Amino acid sequence: MTTVRDVREQAGSTPITMLTAYDATTAAVANEAGIDVVLVGDSMGNTDLGYDSTLKVTVDDVASRTAAVARGADDALVVADMPFLSFGVDETASIENCGRMVKEADADAVKLESGEHTVELTERLVQLGIPVMAHLGLTPQRMKETGYARQGTTRDEGHRILDLARKHEEAGAFCLVLEHVPSNLAEQVTEALTIPTIGIGAGPHCDGQVLVVDDVVGLSTYSPPFSKQYGDLREQMLEAVSAYREDVESGAFPAEEHGHVADELDDLY
């Protein structure tokens, strides 16, 4: 069983491996492959739920998927990604929503897309026993404002991200995701913090890496340029499903061995 303490202590040693999963089967595969952290990302909006952003993902969506992932992943740390406006508006509601992920859905931690508005909340959640993974750089819940552009490209923005990273470490976050920022910024943030950084589109200097599983296994119709595809599952699924359809239409499936006969049912009329 991986704990947030294990992950925190991995800073600067073996790279931390994190992958998204949204169901028990995929979580079990990630777990068997030795992935350290399974993130139930709100990227499920783009992948499994078929939206064109993460904004419509609900607390119920993430809670139900987190419970499934927790049933599938025995060893990996399970992190529930808090959806748009489920935190940071009202403290009580934020704590209840985050608490649900741990109490009901068996998450080991929550991830919050971070900013000035999550510093105190992070501290409060950690005090209450809910571990927090912070997330800076590109935060897709702010896409109406930022689009999906690279973040932290100016000195001002770089200082802002470094400052927020320090504030979240001080507030008690056990880990920080850095998304789509220049690698030399990610490198300096990684050096400045004692908690581990996990990068996506943030270069090789972070303490770990995260990717969206659909991009890794080749299920996505669109993947960002910073991801890497290791499999071709969409093509394989298409072949399998098409072959099944053709077999049914041609009568090749089901064959004798796919069914059974009860002798006493002969001559019913």
Active site residues: 179
* 42 annotated as ligand-binding: yes
CA dist 144 and 141 (Å) reads: 8
Phi-psi region of 267 (alpha: psi -120 to 50; beta: other; left: phi over 0): left
Of 101 and 212, nearer to ligand KIV (C-beta) is 212
CA dist 81 and 118 (Å) reads: 14
Strand partners, 199: 178, 209
Scored b (16 or more CB within 10 A) or e, 212-233 reads bbbbbbbbbeebeeeeebeeeb
Could you please report the per-residue DSSP string of 30-44?
HHHTT-SEEEE-GGG
Which position's Cβ is nearest ligand KIV?
A: 41
Residues 38-57 that bind Na ion (CB under 5 A): 41-42
Whether the link from the prior residue into 204 is cis, omega within 30° of 0, is: no
* 81 annotated as ligand-binding: yes
The type of residue at 168 is H
Residues 157-196 that bind ligand KIV (CB under 6 A): 177, 179
Smallest gap, in angstroms, from Cβ of residue 74 to ligand KIV?
A: 21
Q: Is 61 in the site for Na ion (CB under 5 A)?
A: no
Smallest gap, in angstroms, from Cβ of residue 44 to Na ion?
A: 9
* 247 annotated as ligand-binding: no
Residues 39-58 that bind ligand KIV (CB under 6 A): 39, 41-43
* 43 annotated as ligand-binding: yes
Question: Environment class of residue 154 by beta-carbon count within 10 Å: exposed (0-12), middle (13-18) or buried (19+)?
Answer: exposed
The candidate with the shortest Cα–Cα distance to 104, out of 66, 57, 61, 58, is 66
* 6 annotated as ligand-binding: no
Q: Is 212 in the site for ligand KIV (CB under 6 A)?
A: yes
The interface region with ligand KIV, picked from 35-43, 150-158, 165-173, 228-236 by CB under 6 A, is: 35-43
Q: Is 80 in the site for ligand KIV (CB under 6 A)?
A: no
Residue from 81, 108, 207, 215 in contact with ligand KIV (CB under 6 A):
81
Residue numbers at the binding site for Na ion (CB under 5 A): 41-42, 81
Return binding residues for Mg(2+): 42, 81, 113
Q: Which residues bind ligand KIV (CB under 6 A)?
A: 20, 39, 41-43, 81, 177, 179, 200, 210, 212
